Amino acid sequence: MSIPPLYDTFLIREPLRDDPFAVTHNPSDIPTLIEVYSKSIIHFTERKRERAVERLQYELALLYSREQKWKKALRCLMSVYEGSSWRREGWWNLLGLLREQVRDVAKMCGNAEAVLRAEWEGLCN
């Protein structure tokens, strides 16, 4: 007699497959992921899927950070940070994580203005 699986994969996907962003990637996969994320951002922008674009931009910034491409990472983060639906919709926990990323990456770039903006918003909240 076999033991039934913990999850009925017909109705619910396995936890690892449920969130593909939760999987850690091999460093050699990063250039491919950057290309795929960039194309996905264009795709979702054309379809006006703002939240999907913001999430992909955030993930792209994390990949650039891993590669120590700080200026590209900061550009992605600032596009999410400045016009974020997260702020309009009151997702303060996500904004806090984003603010910390902006501050850390801006320090690595030497961008004092971005560091100051992130720190100031952190003090005001």
Q: What is the mean pLDDT of residues 35-51?
A: 94
* pTM more than 0.85: no
Predicted confidence at residue 111, as pLDDT, reads 92
Grade residue 104 by pLDDT with cuts at 50, 70 and 90: very high
- Report CA-CA distances (Å) from 81 to 48, 60, 66, 73: 18, 14, 19, 12
pLDDT tens digits, 56-95 = 999 999 999 989 999 999 999 999 998 888 888 888 888 8
Q: Of residues 32 and 122, which shows the higher confidence score?
A: 32
